[in-house]
Amino acid sequence: MQRIDESLSLDLQVVATGAHLLEEFGSTFADIQEAGFSVDWKVRELSEANDGLEVAHQVGQGISGFTAAFESLKPDLVVIIGDRYEMLSAAISAFFLEIPIAHLHGGEVTHGAFDDTIRHSITKFARIHCVATEESAQRIINAGENPASVHVVGGLGVDEIARTVLLTDREIEKELGIELSRPLFVVTYHPVTAGKHDAKEEIDGLIEALGAIAGATVIFTMPGADPEHQVIEQSISKVVAERGAPWHVFTSLGQQRYLSLLAVATAVVGNSSSGLLEAPTFHTPTINIGPRQSGRHKAMSVINADPTAESIGHALDTAMSSQFLESIRGVVNPYGTGGAVDRIMTILEGTNIGALGNKIYFDVTPNHVE
């Protein structure tokens, strides 16, 4: 966003929606403004959803909201990152308004969330694909996208680390009003939105496993606005209120504080993509719980665990072992070493948007009639 804003050939417009506008999730549109950006439109039609029925209604309302935004702002290109259902609304609206879409971080796989299907759906609406890995690029090409439209740029999270001035332990303590001790676990657990699961049983198993580590500092961040997020929030709030320090919970930490914690944590625990995309750059172990991120490329620093207290406990012991820490000392983040923003800007500034033409299905292996 900053680089687009500074560009001599591009103009930035910002549309905020979903959890960014909700007080329950920190009203983080204010963070966008504090970073120096104007929010040109707020799509308020999208809010939280507690089940699939509400998500379906939200997507429909979101299409209406984004259509109003795009019709007023009249962008030449819509840039969408990732796989949230809010972004599906934006993609559908832009497609029917004949506004080309540049999609970031497509081609990835997360079998344990309906985000997986949403991500692939956005790919089919998009004209420009900026992906994190060669594996993602090949997956998109195999799905019928023109190889010339697919660009491997690396992960944006790695770039964010490179440009962030990280806080020291003492600075983190001052900003958060807490004391840090070791072991230190940064925990984010989102609902599993695909397949059979029991959110209450899963989060309680995670809490039990963490509680077995004597003297640990546990810092929870709350889940996003997915179905069943309230079940997880209630269990976390209850246990933090009962145990008190050194267990803490924050609705939103912000990028600088969150990345600073990743850098000094004993382990990142839960099922957030940040444990796979960002934590390996710090050589910080990740306990990846359950199927939500299943299928995503993982570094050697990632330990998979079932959503049970026993499995998570075993993974925590492994993450703290000197043998495992020694084995990941030279771990390489599969999402790159930086430079994604530079590559994306080269693509955006160098694309003749008006000459993109109609989108067609690109056959990697054309059918032959004998």
Q: What Å distances lie between residue 201 and 248, 291, 293, 335, CA to CA?
A: 21, 15, 19, 32
- Domain identity same for 290 and 346: no
- Domain identity same for 170 and 318: yes
Is residue 271 in some structural domain?
yes
- Domain identity same for 129 and 225: no
Question: What single-letter DSSP state applies at residue 192?
Answer: P
- Domain identity same for 99 and 231: no
In terms of Cα–Cα distance, which of 51, 131, 46, 53 is closest to 92?
Answer: 46
User: What does the alpha-carbon distance between residue 342 and residue 345 come to, in Å, rounded to a whole number?
Assistant: 5
Is residue 178 in some structural domain?
yes
Is residue 360 in some structural domain?
no
Determine the pLDDT at residue 139. 96
Determine the pLDDT at residue 115. 86
Determine the pLDDT at residue 369. 44
Determine the pLDDT at residue 168. 96
Residue at token pair 């072991």: 183
Is residue 365 in some structural domain?
no
- Domain identity same for 133 and 233: no
Determine the pLDDT at residue 366. 59
Amino acid at 113: A
- Domain identity same for 11 and 109: yes
- Domain identity same for 321 and 205: yes
Determine the pLDDT at residue 266. 98
User: What does the alpha-carbon distance between residue 275 and residue 132 come to, in Å, rounded to a whole number?
Assistant: 15
- Domain identity same for 83 and 125: yes
Is residue 366 in some structural domain?
no
Contact 328, 300 (CB under 8 A): yes
- Domain identity same for 184 and 264: yes
- Domain identity same for 209 and 346: no
Is residue 181 in some structural domain?
yes
Q: How far apart are the first and last CA of the chain?
A: 51
CA 322 to centroid of chain Cα atoms: 30
Cis amide leading into 307 (omega within 30)? no
In terms of Cα–Cα distance, which of 65, 71, 58, 26 is closest to 42?
Answer: 65
Is residue 150 in some structural domain?
yes
Q: Which helix (H) or strand (E) holds 274?
A: helix 274-277
User: Is this structure's pTM higher than 0.85?
Assistant: no
Helix, strand and coil content of the chain, in percent to the nearest 5, comes to 45, 15, 40
- Domain identity same for 109 and 171: no
Count up the domains in the chain and report the number.
2
- Domain identity same for 170 and 150: no
Residue 272's SS3 state is coil
Domain range for 242: 162-327
Determine the pLDDT at residue 367. 55
Is residue 318 in some structural domain?
yes
Residue 250: which CATH number? Answer: 3.40.50.2000
User: What does the alpha-carbon distance between residue 366 and residue 356 come to, in Å, rounded to a whole number?
Assistant: 22
Per-residue pLDDT of the chain (370 residues), as tens digits, is: 999 999 999 999 999 998 888 887 778 888 899 989 999 999 988 777 778 888 899 999 999 999 999 999 999 999 999 999 999 999 999 999 999 999 999 999 988 788 899 999 999 999 999 999 999 999 999 999 999 999 999 999 999 999 899 999 999 999 999 999 999 999 999 988 777 789 999 999 999 999 999 999 999 999 977 788 899 999 999 999 999 999 999 998 989 999 999 999 999 999 999 999 999 999 999 999 999 999 888 999 999 999 999 999 999 999 999 999 999 999 999 999 999 999 999 999 999 999 998 889 998 775 544 4
